[in-house]
């Protein structure tokens, strides 16, 4: 089961990076200037990825359903500049659940009061140096990840909006031993992105 989830996660991240590099004349319905956005704070410092449809798709949402597995998937991405080769400055979500997704539900990788844990939850942030910080569903003891939350506020045919926050961790390995390299806090996150 863990191997299957890993494969799904890798496929979803590849899809997001592929979509991030595509060009397009624009999303379905064009909203006014500044209507699409991806904003959050990292360790209290404001980060904003403006929508740049004239050069590439850098803000995107893909929601789909696989009838064979019954899994509903949500891929959300905010990318500062996806024309750079190092994959820096991007924040992505991948969620999967047979029950689908709705607004007003706090989806999280850690269960608790007021939070729903889907079958798959991954939040990843690649900083300006290219370091990946992430939160996912804990499958080991002791737990590797702390709480991260995504809540959809709008699921329209042409756009998706929501809020998010979380404590993300960066791991490496030395001599086959997993090593915590850093932790950062993402707060006050919000987005409105075109749905493709």
Please report, for the chain, the start and end positions of each structural domain, with discontinuous segments joined by +.
2-194
**Residue 19 pLDDT:** 39
Given a cut of 60, whether residue 15 has pLDDT beyond it is no
Distance CA(192)–CA(60), nearest Å, equals 9
- Confidence band for 57, pLDDT divided at 50, 70 and 90: confident
The pair of structure tokens assigned to 120 is 């798959």
Distance CA(58)–CA(90), nearest Å, equals 9
What would the pLDDT profile of 106-165 be if each residue is shown by its tens digit?
A: 999 999 999 999 999 999 999 999 999 999 999 988 999 999 999 999 999 999 999 999
Distance CA(51)–CA(10), nearest Å, equals 25
Q: What is the mean pLDDT of residues 86-108?
A: 95
The H-or-E segment that residue 99 falls in is: none
Nearest to 59 by CA among 74, 69, 49, 68: 49
- Confidence band for 10, pLDDT divided at 50, 70 and 90: very low
Tell me which of 187 and 1 has the higher pLDDT: 187
Distance CA(53)–CA(87), nearest Å, equals 18
Nearest to 59 by CA among 40, 42, 82, 41: 82
Three-class SS state of 148: strand
Given a cut of 70, whether residue 96 has pLDDT beyond it is yes
Nearest to 121 by CA among 144, 149, 98: 149
């Amino acid at each position: 089961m863990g191997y299957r989830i890993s494969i799904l996660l890798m496929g979803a991240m590849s899809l997001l990076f592929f979509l991030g590099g595509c060009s397009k004349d624009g999303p379905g319905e064009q909203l006014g200037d500044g209507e699409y956005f991806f904003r959050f704070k990292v360790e209290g410092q404001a980060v904003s990825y403006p929508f740049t449809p004239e050069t590439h798709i850098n803000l995107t949402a893909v929601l789909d359903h696989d009838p064979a597995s019954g899994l509903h998937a949500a891929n959300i991405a905010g990318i500062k500049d996806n024309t750079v080769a190092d994959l820096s400055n991007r924040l992505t979500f991948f969620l999967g659940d047979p029950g689908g997704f709705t607004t007003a539900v706090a989806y999280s990788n850690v269960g608790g009061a007021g939070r729903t844990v889907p079958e798959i939850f991954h939040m990843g942030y690649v900083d300006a140096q290219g370091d990946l910080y992430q939160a996912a569903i804990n499958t080991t003891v002791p737990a590797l990840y702390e709480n991260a939350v995504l809540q959809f506020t709008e699921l329209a045919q042409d756009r998706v909006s929501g809020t998010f926050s979380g404590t993300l961790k960066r791991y490496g390995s030395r001599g086959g031993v997993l090593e915590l390299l850093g932790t950062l806090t993402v707060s006050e996150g919000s987005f409105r992105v075109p749905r493709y």
